[in-house]
């Protein structure tokens, strides 16, 4: 009570001096926000510590089979030794390189095809049902076919990854292109422009936000596609490591690779989020 | 020979549901330097008429000539102002204004100087490096007009260019734009459903009927102020002696359509 009344007086004083003061209610609101944030943060940590703790203790006491489930300390050991012998960088590097390559191909093909469809409404009319079908088809079903056609190599992995995301990208972009305000198109025509000018001055610059949000989705999808590809047709990469190690029952390596994938996806997500802010 | 001659213009829209006649037997002339308004109930084909003159819709029946030549040879002499400013949000004011020059690849020294002059003249020069989001509604509309004017059109088509603005801004932007057009000596056709706006701005008003739009009446407008002079700007003209008379007259013409049905 004492505290409160003092603050109140202070607040009044501030007002008298003409200094922009923060009202008590505002202070309370800000404190509430802070408290809420702290609550959420602490529970995030608690969940992680409990999860890792039970896992570790369970593995050590034999409550769960450490050979099958591995354990946090074993994963840590594995990651450290993989970092030392260089295999960690090699496999992670391969997976990342494949992901980036697929990502840029998806972006390039996606924008290119979407522009083509926008340009030629007849073509888009003809192709629409095929695109819708290809978009909803589970692309992992295609991966074995790619192996037969392209061989068990990086080509298959890239094609698999591209196929996962490219159709969705084309459809989303094409619809976004088509939804451009009619009057904006009219504006360009009344200024003496044609379809090319509409594309260059209105459609492409106006759709940069759509492209960025697609990039966010596609980086994740490219990683999914690359791992599917590596499961089936690779001699290196984290996906290969997971399959290989599971087949020889080295679950430590499997879990470690999955852990590395978690780290990669978080880092990629933050990279794009940063790009979006700019 | 008038500056713009439109004769026997008909136009129909085709949809799967059938054919809709939008304009029927439109016939009128526009003098050089004149400010002409076209009013009519919504859906009467005013916009269609403007779009045909601008070449956005094909001319199928009838003829439109400008200085004796078919209108399609004069596409580059027609400026069009839309309801909203449609400034591109990712471009600065200046880049927006130069859009037409950029598209036509005519960024000559003279044109760039003209753009600079217009920006200065109409109070946008200080805002040339600013994105449209930072401009007021009136400034945006002025910027949109300058974007049209740097193309040096001889005929300006105004498609309810004030309707997206709030009332106060509307009056002052109408004053601004009227002044700019008069100063630059442009011929203008305004379509609107705001009777007061039409009276205060124009020298002549054409009233269209309901769809299919036909010319119902042509009214010459001449306003005098208390002191016997012409109003110096459109907003002033709203308090002219004859204003209410014109208003009643046009209102009656518009209302009469309901009786016909």
Res A15: pLDDT: 47
> Counting one residue from A and one from B, how many pairs have CB atoms under 8 Å apart?
46
**In terms of domains, do A57 and A85 share one?**
no
Q: Per-residue pLDDT for A269 more than 70? A: yes
Is A2 among the domain residues? no
**In terms of domains, do A33 and A160 share one?**
no
Measured CA to CA, the distance from residue B128 to residue A143 in angstroms comes to 54
Is A256 among the domain residues? yes
Q: Where are the alpha helices (DSSP H) in chain A?
A: 2-17, 24-61, 66-69, 72-85, 87-119, 121-136, 143-150, 154-178, 182-190, 195-197, 204-206, 208-233, 238-247, 251-277
Query: What's the whole-number average pLDDT of chain A?
Result: 89
- Is B76's Cβ below 8 Å from some Cβ in A? yes
**In terms of domains, do A42 and A88 share one?**
no
Q: Do B147 and A191 touch (CB under 8 A)?
A: yes
Res A1: pLDDT: 42
Is A136 among the domain residues? yes
Is A41 among the domain residues? yes
**In terms of domains, do A238 and A269 share one?**
yes
Q: Least CA distance to A188: which residue of chain B?
A: B100
Pick the residue of B82, B86, B141 with the most A CBs within 10 A to test the interface with A by mutation: B86
**In terms of domains, do A162 and A55 share one?**
no
- What Å distances lie between residue B161 and B14, B125, B142, B174, B251, CA to CA? 27, 22, 10, 9, 21
Q: Per-residue pLDDT for A12 more than 70? A: no
* Rg (alpha carbons) of chain A, rounded to whole number: 27
Sort residue B185 into left (φ over 0), alpha (ψ -120 to 50) or beta. left
Q: What is the CATH number of the domain that holds A132?
A: 1.10.3720.10
Is A135 among the domain residues? yes
Res B229: pLDDT: 82
Res A8: pLDDT: 46
Tell me which residue has tokens 């002549």. B204
Is A115 among the domain residues? yes
Residues B233/B189, Cβ–Cβ less than 8 Å: no
Q: Which residues contact A91 (CB under 8 A, 6 or more apart)?
A: A236, A237, A238, A240, A241, A257
**In terms of domains, do A82 and A58 share one?**
no
Q: Per-residue pLDDT for A18 more than 50? A: yes
B84, B90, B151 member nearest A191 (Cβ): B151
pLDDT of chain B along its 261 residues, tens only? 789 999 999 999 888 888 989 999 999 999 999 999 999 888 888 889 999 999 889 998 999 999 889 988 888 899 999 888 899 999 999 999 999 999 999 989 999 999 999 999 888 999 999 999 999 888 998 899 899 989 989 999 999 888 878 888 888 888 988 988 888 889 999 999 889 999 999 999 999 988 888 898 889 988 888 887 888 888 888 888 888 899 999 998 888 755 544
**In terms of domains, do A79 and A36 share one?**
no
Question: How many domains is chain A partitioned into structurally?
Answer: 2
**In terms of domains, do A47 and A148 share one?**
no
- What Å distances lie between residue A30 and A9, A10, A34, A43, B136, CA to CA? 20, 18, 6, 20, 34
pTM of the entire predicted model: 0.81
Measured CA to CA, the distance from residue B7 to residue B25 in angstroms comes to 8
Q: Do A190 and B79 touch (CB under 8 A)?
A: yes
**In terms of domains, do A32 and A102 share one?**
no
Res B210: pLDDT: 87
DSSP 8-state symbol, B24: E
Nearest residue to A76 via CA among A47, A97, A55: A55
**In terms of domains, do A116 and A50 share one?**
no
Is A15 among the domain residues? no
Q: Per-residue pLDDT for A74 more than 70? A: yes
A181, A183, A193 member nearest B103 (Cβ): A193
Res B76: pLDDT: 87
Q: Which residues of A touch B102 (CB under 8 A)?
A: 201
**In terms of domains, do A127 and A224 share one?**
yes
Is A1 among the domain residues? no
Domain range enclosing A30: 22-64
- What is the per-residue pLDDT across A225-248, written as a single tens digit (0 to 9) for each? 999 999 988 889 999 999 999 999
């Amino acid at each position: 009570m004492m505290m409160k009344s003092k603050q109140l007086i202070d607040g009044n004083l501030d007002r008298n001096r003409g200094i922009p003061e923060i009202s008590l209610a505002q202070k309370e609101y800000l404190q509430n926000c802070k408290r809420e944030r702290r609550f959420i943060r602490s529970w995030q940590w608690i969940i992680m510590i409990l999860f890792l703790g039970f896992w570790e203790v369970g593995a050590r006491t034999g409550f769960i089979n450490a050979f099958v489930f591995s354990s946090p300390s074993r994963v840590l050991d594995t990651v450290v030794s993989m970092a030392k012998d260089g295999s960690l960088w090699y496999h992670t590097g391969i997976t990342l390189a494949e992901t980036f390559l697929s990502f840029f191909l998806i972006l390039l093909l996606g924008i290119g095809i979407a522009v083509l469809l926008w340009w030629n409404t007849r073509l888009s009319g003809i192709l629409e049902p095929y695109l819708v079908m290809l978009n909803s088809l589970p692309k992992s079903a295609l991966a074995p076919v790619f192996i037969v056609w392209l061989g068990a190599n990086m080509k298959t992995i890239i094609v698999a990854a591209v196929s996962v995301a490219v159709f969705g990208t084309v459809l989303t972009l094409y619809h976004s292109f088509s939804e451009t305000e009619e009057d904006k198109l009219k504006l360009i025509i009344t200024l003496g422009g044609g379809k090319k000018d509409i594309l260059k001055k209105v459609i492409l610059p106006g759709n940069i936000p759509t492209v960025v949000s697609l990039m966010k989705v596609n980086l994740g999808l490219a990683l999914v596609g690359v791992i599917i590809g590596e499961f089936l047709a690779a001699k290196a990469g984290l996906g290969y490591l997971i399959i290989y190690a599971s087949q020889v029952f080295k679950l430590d390596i499997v879990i470690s690779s999955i852990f590395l994938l978690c780290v990669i996806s978080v880092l990629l997500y933050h990279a794009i989020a940063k790009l979006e802010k700019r | 020979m008038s500056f713009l001659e439109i004769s026997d213009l008909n136009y129909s829209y085709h949809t799967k549901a059938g054919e809709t006649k939008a304009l029927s037997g439109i016939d009128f002339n526009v003098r050089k330097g004149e400010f002409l308004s076209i009013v009519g109930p919504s859906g009467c084909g005013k916009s269609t008429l403007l779009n045909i003159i601008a070449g956005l819709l094909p001319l199928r029946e009838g003829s439109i000539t400008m200085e004796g030549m078919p209108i399609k040879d004069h596409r580059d002499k027609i400026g069009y102002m839309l309801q909203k400013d449609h400034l591109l949000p990712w471009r600065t004011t200046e880049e927006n204004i130069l859009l037409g020059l950029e598209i036509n690849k005519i960024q000559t020294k003279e044109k760039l100087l003209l753009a600079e002059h217009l920006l200065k003249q109409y109070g946008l020069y200080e805002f040339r490096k600013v994105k449209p989001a930072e401009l007021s509604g009136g400034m945006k509309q002025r910027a949109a007009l300058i974007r049209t004017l740097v193309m040096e059109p001889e005929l300006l088509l105004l498609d309810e260019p004030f309707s997206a603005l709030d009332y106060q801004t509307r009056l002052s932007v109408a004053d601004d734009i009227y002044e700019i057009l008069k100063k630059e000596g442009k011929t203008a056709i305004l379509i609107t459903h705001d009777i007061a706006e039409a009276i205060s701005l124009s020298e002549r008003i054409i009233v269209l009927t309901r769809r299919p739009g036909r010319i119902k009446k042509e009214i010459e407008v001449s306003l005098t102020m208390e002191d016997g002079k012409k109003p110096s700007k459109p907003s002033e003209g709203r308090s002219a002696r004859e204003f209410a008379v014109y208003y009643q007259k046009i209102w009656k013409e518009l209302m009469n359509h309901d009786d016909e049905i």
